[in-house]
Structure 1
Amino acid sequence: MGDSGSYRFSKRLSHVPASFLGELFRVSSQPGVISLAGGLPDAERFDVEGIKNAAVEIFAQEGKTALQYTTTDGYLPLRTYIAQRYRSRLGLNADPNDIQIVNGSQQCLDLLAKILINPGDHVLMERPGYLGAIEAFSYYEPVIDSVQTLDESAGPDLDVLQKQIVTDNPVLWYGIPNSQNPSGITWSSGVRRDVADILDGSDTLLYEDDAFGELFFNGRPRSPVKKWLSHQTVMTGSFSKTISPGLRCGWIWAPHPVIEEFNRAKQASDLHSNLLSQMILTRYLENNNVDERIRETAKIYGERCYLMQEIIDDQFPPGTHHTSPEGGMFMMVTLPSGIDSMELFRKGVSNGVAVMPGFPFYIDGGGSDTIRLNFSAVGLEQISEGMERLSQVLRTLL
């Protein structure tokens, strides 16, 4: 086996799009580069002391249990906490037995695809769509169709959605109704009810990714589609955006038959998620006012987002347009006519600012005139400086 051509990789690898993220992380980490390209929460918002104290308590009181194997479904007190939070925040009657802990909600994409998708099955996604979902689903060789987002008030094109549900019978419709990645757009309550009506009675399962649902700048939660379509909706969430991504704790809440098959797939994959992290996280949640901390974090992100929008409106060339997020960590910018996002990316890095080109978020092509900007990981001063550098680079490309 002397060369790479002799390795017998599976044919499914040919269906997976090349990842741009490795290159992105490499250049973004260069000294002097202000990165507006990544998807990180603000590390300054991590409650290091609080999590450390929770860890000390767990090791002192339940250390042997925390270091042992556990059941695949996850730590029951954490699942109970999540269920109670659904009831208190959103008025949803969640059963801990229908909730399973995962290694960050990203794992749900892989395992749900594994139990639902056969080669050639149709899967629906938003356009633009979350890159992590595109990559995870692609391994299972589906036909991925996209539903264009019309505008910030309308959300996905419901006429196209309804037509595709009828004609293609997709096994899955994946969407991020709250502060979508990459666009930052939030579906209206009317769109959520309409999506539920369109899917109700079909064979299509809704995958409602709620990674950003607690990060609305005004602190007001939005009712999920699952409220109107509970029997046909899988909902996932994560503590990565609100507490710490390093703990790798997310969850799935799904109809019980889905949870049973998901549990089998997860057991075959990794036996169970990190019990130590689950127990430390649960103790931290019990000991601290996380609601207040999350509201403070969302407010800070909002200030950064509004500053970014102001700079685009005031300093960027005519023809530049941006979304106006109500929460989350991202916004999308449409560039003036004739400017290519990859050219902007390369020239931006050489001038000390990194952005995420938009084309990887478009499964069916397009997006070369868009970029995604992240406003959560950098402070106001860095945003001001980075956006000024970006404006100058844009003007050189006109």
Structure 2
Amino acid sequence: MRESLYIGIMSGTSLDGIDVALVDFNFPTPSLIETYFLVYDQYLREKLLALNQVGYDELHRAALLSNQLSRLYADAVEGLLSKSGVSSQNITAIGCHGQTVRHCPQSERAYSIQLGNAALLSELTGITVVADFRSRDIAAGGQGAPLVPAFHQVIFGHTEKHRIIVNIGGIANITSLSPRREVIGFDCGPGNILMDAWCLQHTGSLYDHNGYWAETGCIIPELLEALLAFPFFSLPPPKSTGREIFNSEWLNSYLHGKESPRNVQATLLKLSVETIAQSIWLHFPEAEEIYVCGGGARNGKLIDELKTALSGKEVNLTDVLGVDADWMEAFAFAWLAKQTINKVPGNLPAVTGAQGCRILGAIYTA
């Protein structure tokens, strides 16, 4: 077995599918060897979305979906290994985030639920699986998210330059990597989640390709102002969020029903841009370089607007640093699995609010 090889699996809030990454940690700089993507079908997306809200027979439905997801994760791993030509016997472990269906990190009622049967995944792949990364951080008083900033620090930290990593997935989050301050990271609001839902509702497409539809609309100033006034945006970090807050019902509560759909889409894109940019200007005005990853990095209209909102700062995709923007989180969960296997903490208390550094995840040995 090559003890340097790990697999990371990420299926995020956007519910588009499963990202799988094969990573080699044999060198000082981790190397992304191969990637694989397995798309969710519409029926699975609908079943997962239904579990984001209270409903009938939730425990049974969640258990069945956990098994179904794990079989899909195993299929994705098989596809990755076949594509790479690497044997499963050479993989030390899989880091599997699971599919988040509830994230409620506040107060003594804190919990976060990611679907996935890690034991089944280990049986199907014959590979040790590390899963349930958020629970230990939450038990230690943290929010359990975001967890990727610790990985950002390792791979992107610079001894002289203050860098910001912006991940625009379903939810957008920010990592501040300053040579003079501790790492700070937090969710700043909706990334693609509202835009995708609105686009699907009104065009039948899963997402607004390159922001072309939003570009045909005009921003509705009073709607944007009302959305930006939502209390979450003014909360200080640490903070995290998800579909529990930012969903279609939340958006509809601000609409009177006569808005042009394309104008709403333009406004939602501007909301994502403004909440990211305002967070950076408020908390990290001295930052020199901004690097974007996640699905939103491929939305040309969003990136152009973000560059305008962050005028004076250098804005690029993480691709220029050697990490493909599409594969950042899968890469990160391979790293988090390595941390767990090696009994090294994977969280950052300054990011999540936990009482201290903790070894994250549960190990299901092959």
Give the TM-score of the pair, scaled to structure 1. Answer: 0.26
Please give the TM-score of this superposition, normalised by the length of structure 2.
Answer: 0.28
